[in-house]
Structure 1
């Protein structure tokens, strides 16, 4: 019969061995889990484009997500009409009738076949220009707003300069080729970003078709922008072509909180241009994600001449973060208010400055800041503009004293003469009666 104590020792040994095996297995699995690398989304490679120049930006902030020869000069062709449209919208009455000149009807290129003397509203001409790319409509608009094509071109260049599109020059409203009519991908992105803030402009460029009742023909205008049918989320804007400029395009698309603007210049063919645009948009939406940095209700307070001014953005502001960085350490975000020289009073909603946002080592972006409330004229300015009572007090006293003095002198010399006249009259009356 086996010894009971030896059996117990064997049982304890087996149990201890099993426990050690379990502990070792747990330690190995735990260390393996810790050693397993964190799953980080792979970098999405930027697209390889056939267009000679291109840029992709965030429509709200202007943050650049991709660029290729973005500052190189190219001929824009009909994407010029983006600037033509926004200048006309800001300087004209959309419902005002426009009389078409003979010069407008003789312009080269794509037309909607306007006839001399035909009356069309400015709104109709804008649709004809942006949907059907009518050069005759563009010239009619320019002559109506500027008085002449040359004067309107000066307005276009002034607006481009205001928007920071300083590497561009325009000589006509349609984009017909001219050696002195040029732009860059970055400049066109800035112009498009500004134009897309206009609700009227957005409505026009998002329209797919529109009935057209011309003086000599009726038809339906079809937007030349095929992305409106071919790319989900497309919202605009305009294509262009000349034999020298080749294919040009500015496109916008929106998905979720992100809206992007893509510009392609000098693409070799229309199919390749649309391929480039789709690649750019896909890259922007897949490789980046919007991170909120300013809420719509957030207020910024800045002091100006001893008073505090409440500022706000027009919407929630996001920065586009590469998806591959999503699991990494958050980059610091700094925000700086840049106040413009102010002229009072300030109206609610008036742009008064910029908010500069820096995310990590990414290029800084700037968004407009608006007055959250109306700000009246400062009190000291009111005092400067309102004449002080002291300005009138002493001159008033002097004038009053002068008036009193004149009255006294008048009484002093006027009354004796009246008395003499009275006495002389009495004497003469007595003499007459006695005689």
Structure 2
């Protein structure tokens, strides 16, 4: 593609745009695990809308349900009025997701994006506990609004706030400083569970089980269990931000399931709407539901078309083979990445993440970005992560078949080979 196809975006759109710089072509069509640009060049999608398209593009089942809903003049905008679409989503989520996992949560629909779910969680935790401080972790990312930015560690994103970000304290994430669980927890408890540390008792501890933007750092199950115990010991609520790692991305519907923990509050967005339509949920234990009517609201709280596609998406989880297939293909990704680390020592690579949220951290400055750039030239869409973009990450849609996954991995190796030459 010649650069003039991007001229409209360069001339009329703000400099804040990001992905149109990384993928300099004009996309027009998408299906399953592929996208096509205006010149009909096909690309394999290892990006999945930054985790918003776990079920791929234009899923037939969801599309049929959405078209049917639109054609019957189903209500599109309803704030939080009761609607048929809302009722069907609530009952499907309860029966398909919560009950089989022995989870008891009230469901709140904040504004339709991830940061809205986090803001609601923080507000509720402070309201319930009467405390103001919140503990977050190194390399954590929770959103771009002020409350979410306060518990985000990335200095570039924090600087964009333009105001001081307070009422939060950062602790080291799993293995950030020490490998030993005992040493890590002794350090964290010395600040949060002892007098004289100068750290106010927190309302909540917020974390990602796999840090998406922070570099695909995956916390161990043992560390997660210790953090849950700490939260209980100090009277804080545990918030798991499952916006990027949830809805199957880390292998199970909720990323915290393998650890056997039950967070007090859970934040979901991105793929919860199934089709890429905006939707967010804040889940919390029923006894925490002390909101007054309308105390936290928003014009787009809930999204009826997203309820329709989100309900259809939950049908995937009724079949146990779906989750088994995620695990099988995740093993294939892990094996491939391990092979690349051994085959290309110039990467100075190490494996990061788990499930369908994996990548390679390279010790060579700017190399991860070069891998992503060269992969794009071979028709593969992927991005980088980490505080210095030192990780190239694989986010294929969960529904990708073996043929598509193998071809995408082949193109990734071409990108790696080009980048290290």
Give TM-score, length-normalised by structure 2. Answer: 0.27
Name which one, 1 or 2, has greater alpha-carbon Rg.
1
Of Structure 1 and Structure 2, the greater strand share is in: 1
Greater RCO structure (CA 8 Å; 6+ sep) = 2
